[in-house]
Structures are given as structure tokens and as C-alpha cells.
């Protein structure tokens, strides 16, 4: 139980902690101290909806057609390995999160921008729905513990980045920090990917 939840936590963090538009926007708003709570809650609720749908939806499919699981595991494993390779490439040539100055936003506009950056990103569906749903269902009845772990990862990351942005600005602005982080992500994702395929 605990091990499955921990796997969910690590997988969730590995997927969510990356240089991307959503994280850059949250970092920018966190540094400015502008509408942080509604943005964080929007990110978190989006993850809860998408990941839960992936775990539950794929669970129903797999109950009716159990032969889908081995195929989904191989495809999910290959995707995780590819994700790990991509992280390794980012570690080779690390970037940095740029917060930027920009203009002030209304709370409504901040939430709408967050929704757009989240739900209009095809990787969000691949990661949250398909990939996490596949990995979770490989644990059978323990899949809900995996889901709990991934949601804790989202909670920790979004609140940590949003409210710790002022403290983290210097860290995330340095490519070396992303090199270490992406290297760790590459190892975690590669290991999980191989594990899924040989499971």
C-alpha cells in the first residue's frame, strides 16, 4: 500500500516538475504574489479531475477487456522511457524558468489563462489521463493508492511552487538546478518504464 502510494508520488512529481508554460506562469504569479491561491487551486482541481478520470476510466475498460492491459503497459512503458530520455536531453542542455514582469491580471483572467495552459496542452492528457491511468491500473485494486500518491505530488508541487516562488526564483533561474532535477527525473521515469514493460 505505502509502496504503491510512494510510487504514485514519485511518478506524479517526475511528470509535473518540468519547465513548461503552466509552471512558468505559476512561478511568475507566485513571484508577483498575484492571485496565487485561485491559480494553484485551478491547477490542482484540473489534476484531480484528469488523473481520477484516467484511473477510473481505464479501470472500467480493463475490467471489460483485460487483454488491453499488457498492450497499455508496453505502450505506457515506452512512453515513460521516452519521457526519461527527453528529461536526460534537457539535463544535457538545461533551461530555466523565466518569470518575467508582464502586466497585472484580474483573478478571472488568471484562472482562464491557467485553464488554457492546462487543458489545451496535449501532453496534459497523455500524462494525466493515459499514462498515469495505465501505470495506476497495473497495480490492480491498489490503483487508488497510486492515485492518492499522484494527487499528493500535485498538492505539494503547486502549493510549493506558488507560495515558495519568491524563495525558489533564484534556484529555478539557474540551469544547473534543472540539470540535477532533470537527471533525477530521467532515472525515475526510465526505471518505471522498464518496470512496466517487464511487469
Q: What is the pLDDT of residues 49-73, one digit of tens each?
A: 999 998 888 767 766 777 777 877 7
Question: pTM for the full model?
Answer: 0.74
Domain ranges of the chain: 1-198
List pLDDT tens digits, range 11-45: 999 888 775 678 878 887 887 788 999 999 999 99
List pLDDT tens digits, range 69-101: 787 778 777 877 887 888 788 788 776 655 555
Percent of the chain with pLDDT over 90: 29
C-alpha span between 46 and 119 (Å, rounded): 8
Amino acid at each position: 500500500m505505502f509502496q504503491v502510494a510512494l510510487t504514485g508520488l514519485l511518478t506524479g512529481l517526475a511528470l509535473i516538475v518540468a519547465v513548461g508554460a503552466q509552471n512558468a506562469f505559476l512561478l511568475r504569479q507566485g513571484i508577483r504574489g498575484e492571485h496565487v491561491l485561485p491559480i494553484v487551486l485551478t491547477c490542482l482541481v484540473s489534476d484531480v479531475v484528469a488523473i481520477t478520470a484516467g484511473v477510473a476510466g481505464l479501470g472500467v475498460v480493463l475490467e471489460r477487456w483485460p487483454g488491453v492491459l499488457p498492450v497499455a503497459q508496453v505502450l505506457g512503458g515506452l512512453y515513460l522511457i521516452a519521457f526519461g530520455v527527453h528529461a536526460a536531453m534537457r539535463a544535457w542542455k538545461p533551461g530555466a524558468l523565466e518569470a518575467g514582469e508582464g502586466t497585472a491580471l484580474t483573478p478571472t483572467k488568471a484562472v482562464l489563462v491557467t485553464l488554457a495552459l492546462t487543458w489545451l496542452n496535449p501532453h496534459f492528457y497523455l500524462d494525466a489521463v493515459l499514462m498515469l491511468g495505465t501505470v495506476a491500473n497495473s497495480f490492480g485494486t491498489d490503483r487508488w493508492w497510486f492515485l492518492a500518491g499522484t494527487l499528493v505530488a500535485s498538492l505539494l508541487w503547486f502549493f510549493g511552487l506558488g507560495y515558495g516562488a519568491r524563495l525558489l526564483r533564484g534556484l529555478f533561474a539557474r540551469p544547473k538546478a534543472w540539470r540535477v532535477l532533470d537527471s533525477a527525473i530521467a532515472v525515475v521515469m526510465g526505471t518505471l518504464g522498464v518496470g512496466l514493460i517487464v511487469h
